[in-house]
Amino acid sequence: MGSFFGFNIARSGLFASQRALNITAHNVANANTEGYSRQRLNVVQSTPLSLPQGQGMIGSGVDTAGIEQIRDEFLDFKIRQEMTTNGEWEARAEALKHIEAIFNEPSESGIRKVMDEFFASLHELSKNPDNLTARAEVRQRGIALTETLNHMYTQLQSLQTNTDFAIETTVNQINGYAQQIASLNGQIYKYELDGNKANDLRDQRNLLIDKLSELVNIDVYEAPIPGSNNLSKISITINGDVLVSHTKYNEIKMERRIKLNNYCDAPNLLNLKWENEEPLRVSSGKLKGLLDMRDNISGSEKGIPYYMDKLNRFTTVFAARFNMQHGKGYGLSGAGNHNQFFNGPVFNFANFTDGFRELTASEINDVKGASDEDTINNFEEKNPNKTIFKIKDSLGNDHWYVADIIKADEISISKDIEDLNKIAAAKYDDGSGNGLAGDGSNAEALIELRHDVDMFTWGSPEDFFKSAISNLGVDANEAVRMSENQKVLIQQIDNKRKSISGVSLDEEMTNMVKFQHSYNANARMITTIDEMLDRIINGMGHVGR
Q: What is the pLDDT along the chain (545 residues), one digit of tens a residue?
A: 556 788 888 899 999 999 999 999 999 999 999 999 999 999 998 888 888 877 888 888 898 888 999 999 999 999 999 999 999 999 999 999 999 999 988 777 789 999 999 999 999 999 999 899 999 999 999 999 999 999 999 999 999 999 999 999 999 999 999 999 999 999 999 988 887 889 999 999 999 999 999 999 999 998 887 776 778 889 999 999 999 999 999 999 999 998 999 999 999 999 999 998 899 999 999 999 999 999 999 888 899 999 999 999 999 999 999 998 998 889 887 666 778 899 877 666 555 555 678 888 898 999 998 988 889 989 988 888 888 988 888 788 888 988 889 999 999 999 988 889 999 999 887 777 777 878 899 999 999 999 998 888 888 999 999 999 999 999 999 999 999 999 999 999 999 999 999 999 999 999 999 999 999 999 999 898 888 888 877 877 665 55
* pLDDT computed for residue 533 by the predictor: 83
Closest CA to 285 of 423, 82, 133, 530: 82
The conformation of residue 348, written as its DSSP 8-state character, comes to -
How many CA atoms within 13 Å lie on the side-chain side of 368? 10
Helix or strand run (H / E) with residue 39: strand 39-45
How far apart (Å, rounded) are the C-alpha atoms in residues 449 and 444?
Answer: 9
| 449 C-beta neighbours (distance < 10 Å), count | 18
How far apart (Å, rounded) are the C-alpha atoms in residues 236 and 220?
Answer: 5
* pLDDT computed for residue 347 by the predictor: 62
How far apart (Å, rounded) are the C-alpha atoms in residues 494 and 17?
Answer: 32
* pLDDT computed for residue 510 by the predictor: 95
- Crossing angle of helices 73-103 and 304-327, rounded to 10°: 20
Closest CA to 136 of 122, 115, 152, 150: 122
Closest CA to 156 of 9, 264, 35: 264
Q: Using an 8 Å Cβ cutoff, are 386 and 380 in contact? A: yes
Entry pTM: 0.88
Q: Helix %, strand %, coil % for the chain, to 5?
A: 55, 15, 30
The alpha-helical segments, DSSP class H, found in 52-110 are 73-103
Please give the full DSSP string across 272-317, using - where no structure is assigned. Answer: EEETTSPBP---SSHHHHHHHHHH-SSSTT--HHHHHHHHHHHHHH
Q: Distance of alpha carbon 311 from its chain centroid, rounded?
A: 23
* pLDDT computed for residue 382 by the predictor: 87
* pLDDT computed for residue 351 by the predictor: 53
